């Protein structure tokens, strides 16, 4: 019998600091990531979604601006792949 690796809980949230730092020091743009992940809003690449997920752009609401510090591990893995990184490089 072959041992199987335990399944990761892909809905788990992780700190987005490593992913954000990787993005900020790379040549990859928010447009690149949105395009590779097929994140579109009204026919345009949804760069705001990318930047909010990374904690670079605030989520604005009536109580003020807040920056995200957590990201779903599945989303982090997809974004890492879109940047040409292995998920483990950014803690996903």
33-47 pLDDT, tens per residue?
A: 999 999 999 999 999
Mean pLDDT (the chain, rounded): 87
Query: Is it the case that residue 2 has pLDDT exceeding 90?
Result: no
CB distance 76 to 91 below 8 Å: yes
Residues 36, 38: Cα–Cα separation, whole Å? 5
């Amino acid at each position: 019998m072959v041992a199987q690796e335990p399944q990761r809980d892909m809905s788990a949230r992780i700190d987005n600091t490593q992913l954000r730092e990787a993005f900020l020091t790379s040549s990859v743009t928010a447009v690149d990531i949105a395009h590779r992940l097929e994140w579109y809003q009204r026919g345009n690449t949804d760069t705001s979604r990318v930047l909010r997920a990374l904690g670079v752009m605030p989520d604005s609401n009536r109580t003020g601006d807040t920056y995200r510090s957590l990201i779903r591990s599945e989303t982090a893995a997809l974004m890492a792949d879109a940047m040409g990184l292995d998920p483990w490089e950014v803690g996903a």
